[in-house]
Structure 1
C-alpha cells in the first residue's frame, strides 16, 4: 500500500499531471477574475469565497481521469485487482495520493491567491479549514467517478458530468463557511455538514469504486 502511494506521488510530480496542472489552472482562474469583473475591491471581496472554491473544485477535476487510466492502459490495474491486497485499499491510497498532489497544493496556495480577490482577513482561516476538510472529499468522489469510467474511450467528459453534481454540496458548504466567517457569523452548521460529506466519502466510496473497477475488468 505504501509503495503504491509513493509510486502515484512520484508519477504525478514527474508528469506534472497532478501538481502542476491543477495548481496552474487554479492560479490562472483566480488571476483572470479581476480582469473579468473589474477592480472593484468590494465586489471582489464579496465573490472571493465562491471563486476560490470553484477554482479549487475545477482544479481537482482536471486530473481525475489519471487516477486509474494509466494503470488500466499498462495492465497494472489488473494486477492490483488480483493482488492479495484489498482493492478498496488500493482505491483509498490512489485517492489520497491524488489529494496530496492536487488538493493539498491548492490549500497552500489559496491564501496567497485570496489577496488578489481582496478576501476579508477574517475569512482566511476558514478558507484554509474548509479546503483542508473539503478537498479530500473531492478526491474520493473523483476516484469513484474515475472508477465508473475506467476503460472507456474519451471518458473524461463523462467523468466530469458524473462527478460535478456530486461536488456541489461540498462547494456550497465550503463557500458558505468562508462567507459566514468573513461576516463574523456562526459557521458550525455548514462546517459540520461539509465534514460529514468528507467522512462519508472516505468511508464508503472506496468500496463503491472497487466494485465498479471489478465490473470494468470483467
Structure 2
C-alpha cells in the first residue's frame, strides 16, 4: 500500500510542477461553455435544455487532452520499464496512476463546473444533478482513457490515436450521464454500474497492453 501511495503522490507532484497542463484542461472546459452559446443563439430556454449534454461533452473533450501523459513520460524516462519489473503487480501500479489521473483531470473539471453552469444558464436542480452525474461517470472516462493510453504508449503518435480508440467505449457513459440529468429513472444506476465495471477492469486491461508493448 505504501508503494501505491508513493506512485500516486509522485504523479500528482510531477503534474503540479508542470502546472500548465491542468490549467489548460480547465480553460478548455470553460471555453466550450463560452463558445457554444454563440453557436446556439440567445434563447436561454434552449441553452438551458442543452446544457447537461454540453457539460458532458466539454468534460469528455477536455479529459482527452490529458491522455498522453498517463504513461508517455514514464515510457520516455525508463520508469515504465522499472514498473514492469517491480515487486508489486503492474495492475496495482496502473490503478494508482488511474487514481492520480482522475485527481488531476476529472476533479478540476468538476470544480470548474459551476462556472460552466453560469455561462449556460443552468438552474440549481439541473446543476446539482450534473455534478452528481459527473462524480459518478467520470471515473469510467478515466478508466477507458487509461486503457487507450496503455494501448498506444509505444506508438509514435499515440496521443492522437488513443481518443479514436476509446470514443466508442465512452459513448454509453455520455448517454447515461446526460440521461441521469434529463431522464432519471435507472440511468444513474446504469452509469454507476458502468463506472464500477470499467474501473475494476481497466488496471488488468491496461497492464496487459503495457506488457504486450514491452514485447
Which range, TM-score by smaller chain? over 0.9
1:86 to 86, 89, 93: 89
2:61 to 58, 64, 88: 58
Alignment of 1:168-179 (within 5 A): 168-179=171-182
What CA distance in whole angstroms lies between the structure 1 residues aligned with 2:172 and 2:19?
Answer: 29
What CA distance in whole angstroms lies between the structure 1 residues aligned with 2:66 and 2:181?
Answer: 25
What CA distance in whole angstroms lies between the structure 2 residues aligned with 1:120 and 1:26?
Answer: 19
**Matched residue count:** 212
Q: TM-score, normalised by structure 1?
A: 0.94
1:112 to 110, 115, 134: 115
Q: TM-score, normalised by structure 2?
A: 0.95
1:203 to 200, 203, 209: 200
Q: RMSD between aligned alpha carbons?
A: 1.1
Indicate yes or no: 2:74 matched with 1:71.
yes
For 2:129, the equivalent position in structure 1 comes to 126
For 2:164, the equivalent position in structure 1 comes to 161
For 2:211, the equivalent position in structure 1 comes to 214
What CA distance in whole angstroms lies between the structure 1 residues aligned with 2:154 and 2:76?
Answer: 8
What SS does the aligned partner of 1:119 have?
coil
- Cα drift, residue 18 of structure 1: 4.4
Contact 1:137 1:197 (8 Å CA) reproduced: yes
Contact 1:49 1:127 (8 Å CA) reproduced: yes
Deviating above 6 A after TM superposition, structure 1's stretches of 4 or more consecutive aligned residues are none
What CA distance in whole angstroms lies between the structure 2 residues aligned with 1:192 and 1:30?
Answer: 28
